[in-house]
Amino acid sequence: MTEESTLRELICSLARSLFDRGLTAGASGNLSARLSDGRLLVSPTGVSMGRLDPADLSLIDGGRHVGGRAPTKELLLHAAFYDTRAQTGAVVHLHSAHATALSMLPEADPDNLLPPLTAYGIMKLGKVKLLPVFLPGDPAMGEAVRGLAGRRTAVVLANHGPVVAGQDIEAAVNAIEELEDSARLALLTRGMSPRMLSEAQQRAVIETFDVVWDT
């Protein structure tokens, strides 16, 4: 199999896994991955992540749609990560329930949405930026990500859902699953005064695992 055909199959397999486990529903959510020549494979608009066909994935070359079905209307959101983070090899956006719910709470910290409950949330995500509410497909979402100048790998669109960039599609999927699990823990322990990681423990994780920690 060629690099492209292998990646097409992997994208669809991981998307189906996310859908089957309830991390996105209906035709919501989208994902993309970069080929070694810089072209992007992107999930098409209006298609369930549980039923993606490798042959139907949109092919984007230099920002132009050159093959497959029409791409997700949130392509500019994906492009913002690729353009501002050279190491980005894939982007995943879900409408997962717990991360979205956490974004709606009045006490949500816009600079770092996830409380420091586990080392893995810090290791895989760094600080998670909470972005404002945008209409679906609004180009302003991409502009908001560009405004972060590549300093964040993960954001949550308020009342909408998380977006995570990774070095490859598997890393991006693993990270967004960690984000959803961390959000679920935050909601489960809300109002219970959970024992969070101390500043010293957080710093140890950041230094030991070389986490990019935007300040």
Which band of pLDDT confidence, cut at 50, 70 and 90, is reported for residue 213? confident
Catalytic option among 74, 177, 178, 180? 74
> How many of the other CB atoms lie within 10 Å of CB of 55?
11
With bands split at pLDDT 50, 70 and 90, how would you rate the model's confidence at 212? confident
| Helix, strand, coil % in the chain, rounded to nearest 5 | 40, 15, 45
What distance in Å separates the CA atoms of residue 187 and residue 105, rounded to the nearest whole number? 10
How does strand 129-131 pair with strand 58-61? unpaired
> What residue has token string 């109002």?
191
Would you say residue 214 has pLDDT above 80?
no
Mean pLDDT of the chain: 96
> One of 4, 82, 120, 170 is an active-site residue; which one?
120
Which residues lie across from 60 on neighbouring strands? 40, 65
Q: Examine the pLDDT at 215 and tell me if it is beyond 70.
A: no
Q: Is the pLDDT of residue 161 over 90?
A: yes
The question of whether 82 is a catalytic residue gets the answer no
**Which pLDDT belongs to residue 166?**
97
Question: Domains in the chain and their CATH numbers?
Answer: 3-208 (3.40.225.10)
Q: How confident is the model at residue 1 (pLDDT cuts 50, 70, 90)?
A: confident
Report pLDDT for 113. Answer: 97
Give the pLDDT confidence of 17-51 residue by residue, as tens digits: 999 999 999 999 999 999 999 999 999 999 999 99
What digits encode the pLDDT tens for the residues 47-105? 999 999 999 999 999 999 999 999 999 999 999 999 999 999 999 999 999 999 999 99
Whole-number Å distance between alpha carbons of 90 and 104? 26
Residue 179 — pLDDT band, cuts 50, 70, 90?
Answer: very high
Residue 36 has what DSSP assignment? T
Active-site residue, 120 included? yes
- pTM for the model stands at 0.96
Q: What is the mean pLDDT of residues 145-162?
A: 96
